[in-house]
A and B are shown apart, each in its own frame.
Chain A
Amino acid sequence: MTNQYDVVVIGSGVIGSSIAYHLSESKQKEILVIDKGFPLSGTSGSTQAWVWVHNKTPSWYGELSMYSAELYPFLERKIGDVEYKRTGGIAPFFNESDREKALRLAEKQAEVGIDIEVLNREQVLEKEPALSPTIAGATYSKIDGNVNPFRLVELYIKAAKRNGAEFSFYNPVIDIDKDNGNFTITTKEGVFYAKQLILAGGPWTKGLGELLGIDIPVKQVRGQIIVTEPLAPLIKHTIGGMRQADNGEILIGYSKEEVGYDRRTTLDVIQDTAKMAVDYLPDLARANIVRCFSGIRVMPHDGFPILGEIPEIDNAFIAVMHSGITLSPLVGTLMTELLTEGETSIDLKRLRFNRFNECNV
């Protein structure tokens, strides 16, 4: 290992690994990825991993998610089987009065090319017979799917390594300095230098910002998930709230709590999650739970990704967001464009860090 790199990426979750992989494709840059732990120890190892598009609003955000979903089949051809399945997505509603809202959502998303059907009860049950007959209807889109996050991150890293990128695990970054246009990155294992620096620290990104003297407007939001024992195929689609993995287990959950970095599971939320499972799929009442887990989302204050240059620090970049599983192929592609060409094929204006200064958040 040398000490001098073109690019150092801090964080080896799905975002940092995707950026390293996409950057490594051209084999033009010396890349080092540093992680304080092992890659899946952060949020990317404790996620539902839907590649979810159709309910993402406003529509420009849905559009970004759609572009990313469209990249998955190509990604899989390049890095290997990440168990990406375009299952189609169903988001059920239980009140007839919600149909109006569903139609409005479909209309809005159609403007950017996202196809949504609004289904009535019979149509939903025809697609997904295990769903509860008490539902009123659902929005449905073919574009949604899910992926195996463990395979995804592992294969991003393996492909990046094949292209020459280097990784340093169990190596926390303790300090960052900038002088003469070069970053000096002090870690537990030694000092590294970089021309370009990318912060991709997930829920720890705020702490990395402090090392650079900037305040990154993100908060931590816990989510708790139930995992069942492997079951015979019960659901075919990704359903807003749950999915069935290749090995038969069903992952269920959709909760949000602001409790800081606390990855415990709590009985109350798990009971509510079990209730949701049964409300959606009555058959699940008889299924066994194997384990529960929780993960910490990193949520920018306005909810949208923070992507691109860090204002006032030349050659420092940030990539921090919720829905990083859905967005990782697109984020890796756009960051590569930005770092190698200085501009991106999709306008990043809405995602830039400096939007927060403009509206004084």
Chain B
Amino acid sequence: MDKSTIVCRCEEINIDEIESAIKMGAHTFDDIKRITRCGMGPCQAKICTTLVQRIISEYTDKPLSDIGPSRMRMPLKLTRIGVLAGNKESSSVISVFSESASKEGETKND
């Protein structure tokens, strides 16, 4: 196959980019994902999973059955933020402002 063949449609990542990540030392789908963004797009690796697994298998000479998929992330399918937000009152999320304004000497925000 041509090295410029697209493997991940969402992020437009081709075979060459995946092989470069493997050359850099990537072993798993997740390693490749973080370096190239392959599989991070809206379809969440539903299209590219087996393609990437095949490239890893060919490159590393490991049987395809030994190559795991990428880590699945909630919510698995596109979900509206408004649906998740509901109308909750309490919150575990902190405000950057109130943290910095609370007490001198105690805060460090991201």
Contact = CB atoms under 8 A, between A and B. Distances in A.
Contacts of B101: 93, 98, 101-102, 104-105
Interface in B42-85: 42, 44, 73-75, 78-82, 84-85
Given A105-B101, A240-B96, A271-B86, A292 B75 contact: yes
A169 interface: yes
Interface in A211-265: 223, 226, 228-230, 240-241, 247, 253-257, 265
Given A40-B35, A241-B95, A254-B96, A290 B104 contact: no
Interface stretch (A55-63, A173-181, A199-207): A55-63
B74 A265 contact: yes
A150 B25 contact: no
A274 B108 contact: no
A71 B107 CA distance: 23
Contacts of A226: 81
A337 interface: no
Contacts of B88: 271-272, 275
B44 to A, nearest CB: 6
A276 B91 CA distance: 8
Contact of B109 (A56, A267, A270): A56
Interface stretch (A184-192, A278-286, A338-346): A278-286
Interface residues of B, number: 45
Given A55-B97, A271-B86, A292-B73, A228 B109 contact: no
A268 interface: yes
A55 B99 contact: yes
B35 A287 contact: no
Given A169-B25, A255-B93, A274 B78 contact: no
Nearest to A157: B24
Contacts of A163: none
Contacts of B99: 55
B81 A323 contact: no
Contacts of B74: 265, 267, 270, 291-292
A169 B24 CA distance: 9
A291 B35 CA distance: 17
Nearest to B28: A38
B81 A257 contact: no
Given A52-B110, A102-B97, A289 B104 contact: no
Contacts of B96: 55, 91, 240-241, 254
Nearest to B105: A58
A50 B96 CA distance: 12
Contacts of A48: 110
B98 interface: yes
B13 to A, nearest CB: 12
B9 interface: no
B12 to A, nearest CB: 11
A38 B25 CA distance: 7
B19 interface: no
Contacts of A265: 73-74
Contact of B85 (A52, A92, A277): A277
Given A170-B25, A276-B91, A288 B78 contact: yes
A307 to B, nearest CB: 14
A311 interface: no
A241 B96 CA distance: 7
Interface string A115-155: 00000000000000000000000110000000000100010
A291 B73 contact: yes
Contacts of B4: none
21 contacts: A37-B31, A50-B110, A52-B109, A55-B97, A56-B100, A56-B107, A56-B108, A57-B105, A57-B106, A102-B101, A254-B94, A254-B95, A270-B75, A271-B85, A272-B92, A275-B88, A275-B91, A285-B81, A290-B44, A290-B78, A304-B108
Interface of B: 24-28, 30-31, 34-35, 37, 40-42, 44, 73-75, 78-82, 84-86, 88, 90-101, 104-110
Given A40-B31, A57-B108, 9 more contacts: A38-B25, A91-B96, A98-B101, A150-B35, A157-B24, A265-B73, A269-B93, A288-B42, A304-B108
Counting from the closest, the 6 A-B pairs by CB-CB distance are A240-B96, A285-B82, A55-B100, A101-B101, A291-B73, A274-B84
